[in-house]
Amino acid sequence: MTSFDAIVIGCGHNGLVTAATLATAGRKVLVLEAGKEVGGAARTEEFAPGFRGSSVAHLLNRLHPDVVKTLELEKHGLKIARADFIPSVALSKNGPPLVLHGAYGEVLTGASSSEQSAWRDLRAQLLRYAGILKPFLSRRPPDLDGMSLLETASLGQTALALRKLGKEDMRDFLRVLLMNVADLLDEQLEDIRLKGLLAFDATLGCHLGPRSPTSLLGLYYRLAGETGGAAGAQMLPQGGMGAVVAAIRASAERAGVVIRISAPVAKIVVEKGRAVGVTLDNGEELRASTIVSAINPATTFLDLVGPREIDTGFVRKVKNIRMRGDAAKLNLALDRPPQFTGVDAAGHNGRLVIAPSPDHVERAFNPSKYGEFSQEPVMEITLPSLADPSLAPGGACVLSTVVQYAPYALKEGWVAGKPKFLKAIMAQLEAYAPSIGKSIVHAELLTPADIETRYRMPGGHWHHGELQADQMLMSRPVSSWSGYDTPIEGLFLAGAGSHPGGGVSGAPGLNAAWRIIAMGR
Amino acid sequence: MNRHVKINSARIAAQSHFRTLRLGTPFQPRIDALAKTQDWYNWAGYRAPHSLWDEELEYFAIRSQAALFDISPMTKYRIEGPDAEAFLDRVTLRDVTKLRPGRIHYTAWCDDEGFVLDDGTLFRLSPTRFRLCSQERHLPWLLDSAIGFDVTVKEETEAVAGLALQGPTSFAALRDAGFAGVEKLRVFDLADFAHDGSTVTISRTGFTGDLGYELFVPADKALSLWDRLMTSGELHGIRAIGYTALNRARLEAGLIVANADFTTAEHAIRADRLRMPDEIGLGFMIDLEKGHFNGRRAILAARAKCKLRHVLVGLEIEGNIPAEHAIVYHKKSGEVGLVSAAMWSPMAKRNIAIASLARPYGDTVVEDLWVEIYAMRELQYQKLMKRAKVVARPFIKLERRTTTPPADF
């Protein structure tokens, strides 16, 4: 039997990135995937006969350039061109929508000229500030216990970048850093449609409303991402998100990575504080000197390693990671493309957002604090089959939407709540795309509970842990252990639960691989 | 409004505990009756005696008669379940799989960073049932440590009353009280005996380095147990004692006290007050061959990187003035540590102390150590610089502590 230097648990995109990077550096790597398919929550799946869509993640807006470069993804089938950038459309029930064109609104249409100039200023400022944080994405979080010279130097560069902002700008950066997004928007903008869209983007995927303290960080996180070299740009990958994963997989296999599907890991074997292998649920034991867990950190430690092999304080920290998802995914199979009021053909190819105002987003958030879903949910909608007809039968259409707020721990339970929530979502859609309801062939609603079961993501949280100030950087996934290594020697984390966080970026996976290589393993 | 008032008065009624500033133990009626000095202190929220009638004579009751000391305020946890052994093996330093039912061992436990949270005694009452006794309270830590184990952890400090009966005639007192078979108990053995329609657990343990026992009963059987021992012990010179006497005996025995000789990790505010087992003389407990235990990784790393900065030693100091809380010097000039407990030992006939020193002093450098004693003489300090020698603990070894069956004094 072939022996491996490293075993990667979980074949989501981060697991694949780690495996490919390690293999490129000469390691023999085996990836074990519990499910029947690779890709985790970044797959293209058939959800109704003839209808395919990106199962959870549907927009590419933060695949890290280092990942694209290191894995040579463009050689392996990934196409990123400026022409693929899609606009964001802030839908409006009455009147024309407001549209952010290019890379996160290089051009704004549908707003007054004074609002356009206010937006230019705000956009520039947001990108400048997000740019300060951007270098953190591609390195280990600062280590308070002692950093290498290189790490200290790169932190120094951040300080330098901060100084380069100039005195006024630096002060303002620090002033707004932990603000809520709604207050910042109120300082600079007038148009509630534009503010609604930004408030939605800042809170998407988090258990935060626009008026929750620190909610601005979510917007920075989004804008620290880039596509094709343009910050904030977004695109719908041809073939769905599964095609992105296919490119990463091709790169990994080219480098010699072996992937085994339907091979769920039951246990990480620990001997005298050192990870030495894994046991599959069929009892098969596989050994390697480096074990990488690219799955959820809580699952890794509480289930696969088990509390007996780790210290009580660490168990406490892991148990305290907040990871209850608050977003649902709705995939609709439609017999014809929907018509959103006032939106032109280009707009329909874009990202359509229902978030009419920051107040509306805040009101949608309120019930989720008490275990109830939004009666008037906010959402982002894409129609991927318009640009990629292979996803739907001729003349038919796929509608893919991320909806919030849908608290994981719904008070009435999701069995009872799901049909009611679907009704609430459809009522919203109907208001913006009249008679869309009549064109539905099939509706697949994935609540956080469904996402948890289907994609093995505890809490159904796509970041594998709330992405908020207290769970970022050196506190992600837990304090003292944020640098991809763990209290178990030879065991590393590489998933979205680690710094910098979720989204199809590959950054945690890449950083983890670099850490493993730097440690000479 | 009325409802509001009602809730308030109910809450106030429930808060009446604050009117009792110090709790009494189940033995309090008997102890109060004997407390001639009215010299109390606070032991974990209980009213405990420093001394009852004369601390010198109380000390000699330990060494020449039988001394009865109320240990009810000691924190006690009942740990039970199929995984109790595995749970305790993970929490504590020593190998619990080697602790047989009916046996006790002295152990300690650490946090993730390898710093000592407390030391204590672990009683194995049955294959699946244990009692952990300690100085500080640890329920949240123990409950969080129980995650992933089939085990229940319950605080039983109030429910279980405890007595230490220590001294050369302690065995005779127990035998005459009718505890047949108690002579078979070897050091660190325990057994159950009938008492007043219930059960008393008697162990051959103690904090004195002397022949002695500890007895645990349900709180409602406390007074009948006290009376039974006092009656049987009368002709064996049994005396109730306070903590001052016990504290001297434990120092002679070389035993350390949490938050007196070292600061427990959860109490330490200053980062340099934290101590690893190796720094307080408990390194012998660490078993790297057993499975994982809390702090293992940190302890190994500290040993490998030589990050153990302190050492706890026994000192013998010239002269006869106790060096309590004296600063320890190297070559009479450089400060290298502090004495945490000191006395003139009547048994050892030596001036003894326990001190914490900064390595390498006390570790590889043991020559030319001095202590500076401030002796108050009629409102003036007389400063004495006395030579100190690092010596082995315990400071006294009494054959009767371990002889089985014990002699009948």
Can you give the pLDDT at residue A163? 83
Residue in chain A closest to B87 (alpha carbons) equals: A308
CB contact under 8 A, B148 and A315: yes
Report which DSSP code applies to A112: -
A336 touches chain B (CB under 8 A): no
Instruction: Please state, rounded to an integer, the average pLDDT across all residues of chain B.
Output: 96
* Nearest chain A Cα distance for residue B91, angstroms: 8
Q: Which CATH class is domain A6-42+63-70+239-321+463-518?
A: alpha beta
Closest CA to A44 of A290, A237, A304: A237
pLDDT exceeds cutoff 80 at A346: yes
Interface test with B, best of A308, A479, A480 (most B CBs within 10 A): A308
Cis peptide before A477 (omega within 30 of 0): yes
Q: What is the mean pLDDT of residues B256-268?
A: 97
Is residue B328's pLDDT more than 50?
yes
Report the pLDDT value the prediction gives residue A521, as an integer from 0 to 100: 84
- How many whole angstroms separate alpha carbon A77 and alpha carbon A72? 9
CATH among 2.40.30.110, 3.30.420.40, 1.10.490.10, 3.90.180.10 for B271-391: 2.40.30.110
**A308/B111 touch (CB, cutoff 8 Å), yes or no:** no
Condensed to tens digits (0 to 9), the pLDDT of residues A32-91 reads 999 999 999 999 999 999 999 999 999 999 999 999 999 999 999 999 999 999 999 999
- Mean pLDDT confidence for A130-157: 84
CA dist A427 and B56 (Å) reads 87
- pLDDT score for A42: 95
Is A270 within 8 Å of chain B by CB? Answer: yes
Alpha-carbon gap, residue A117 to B285, rounded angstroms: 71
Whether the per-residue pLDDT at B1 is higher than 50: the answer is no
User: CB under 8 Å to A6, separation ≥6 — which residues?
Assistant: A19, A22, A27, A28, A29, A30, A288, A289, A290, A291, A292, A516, A521
> What would the pLDDT profile of B365-395 be if each residue is shown by its tens digit?
999 999 999 998 999 999 999 999 999 999 9
Residue A144 binned pLDDT confidence (cut-offs 50, 70, 90)? confident
Contact B147 A319 (CB under 8 A): yes
Beta-carbon count within 10 A of B115 CB: 23
Taking an 8 Å Cβ-Cβ cutoff, which residues of chain B contact chain A? 86, 90-91, 111-113, 141, 144-145, 147-149, 288, 291-292, 294-297, 300
Q: What is the pLDDT of residue A162?
A: 81
Instruction: Report CA dihedral (B24, B25, B26, B31) to the nearest 10 degrees.
Output: -80
Q: Is the peptide bond before B127 cis (omega within 30 degrees of 0)?
A: no
Nearest CA in chain A to B89: A308
Tell me which chain A residue has its CA closest to the CA of residue B287: A272
pLDDT in tens, A470-500: 999 999 999 999 999 999 999 999 999 999 9
Q: What is the DSSP letter of A36?
A: S
The whole-number pLDDT of residue B21 equals 86
Contact residues on chain B for A489, CB-CB shorter than 8 A: 297
Q: How many residue pairs bridge chain A and chain B with CB atoms within 8 Å of each other? A: 48
Q: How far is CA B403 from the centre of its chain?
A: 22
Look at residue B10 and tell me whether its pLDDT is greater than 80.
no
DSSP annotation of A283 reads S
Residues 219-248 of A with CB under 8 A from B: none
pLDDT of residue B3: 55
**Contact A273/B at CB under 8 A:** yes
Q: Do A311 and B291 touch (CB under 8 A)?
A: no
A479 touches chain B (CB under 8 A): no
Q: In the structure, what pLDDT confidence band is assigned to residue B5 with cuts at 50, 70 and 90?
A: low
| Alpha-carbon torsion (A480, A482, A488, A489), positive or negative | negative
Question: Does residue A320 belong to the interface with chain B, where contact is any CB pair within 8 Å?
Answer: no
On the question of a cis peptide bond just before residue A221, with omega within 30 degrees of 0, the verdict is no
Q: Are B36 and B242 in contact (CB under 8 A)?
A: no
| pLDDT tens digits for range A256-309 | 999 999 999 999 999 999 999 999 999 999 999 999 999 999 999 999 999 999
A273 and B296 in contact by Cβ < 8 A? yes
Region B37-56: mean pLDDT is 97
| pLDDT at residue B63 tops 90 | yes
Tell me the CATH number for domain B75-155: 3.30.70.1400
By Cβ distance, the residue of A272, A308, A311 closest to B148 is: A308
DSSP secondary structure of A49-87: TTEEEESS---BS---HHHHHHTTTTTTT----GGGB--
In angstroms, what separates the C-alpha of B226 from chain A's closest C-alpha? 40
**Residue B62 predicted with pLDDT over 90:** yes
Mean pLDDT of chain A: 96
Distance, in angstroms, between A302 CA and closest chain B CA?
A: 8
Q: Alpha-carbon distance A76 to A70, whole Å?
A: 12
B277: distance to nearest CA of chain A, Å?
A: 16
**Number of residues that make up chain A:** 521
Pick the CATH number of B21-74+159-252 from 3.30.1360.120, 3.10.20.30, 3.30.450.40, 3.40.50.620: 3.30.1360.120
For A288, the 3-state DSSP assignment is: coil
Residue ranges covered by each domain of chain B: 21-74+159-252, 75-155, 271-391
Contacts of B292 in chain A (CB under 8 A): 270, 273, 308-310
Query: Least CB-CB distance to B292: which of A273, A302, A319?
Result: A273
| Residue A240 to residue B63: CA distance in whole angstroms | 84
The tens digit of pLDDT for each residue in A161-217 reads 888 888 889 999 999 999 999 999 999 999 999 999 999 999 999 999 999 999 999
B354-376 burial by CB neighbour count: b if 16+ within 10 A, else e?
Answer: bbbbbbebbeeebeebbbbbeee
Interchain contact, B147 vs A309, CB within 8 Å:
no
Cα(A455)–Cα(A54) distance, integer angstroms: 13
Residue corresponding to tokens 């013998």 = B316
pLDDT in tens, A353-388: 999 999 999 999 999 999 999 999 999 999 999 999
| Torsional sign, CA A401, A403, A406, A412 | negative
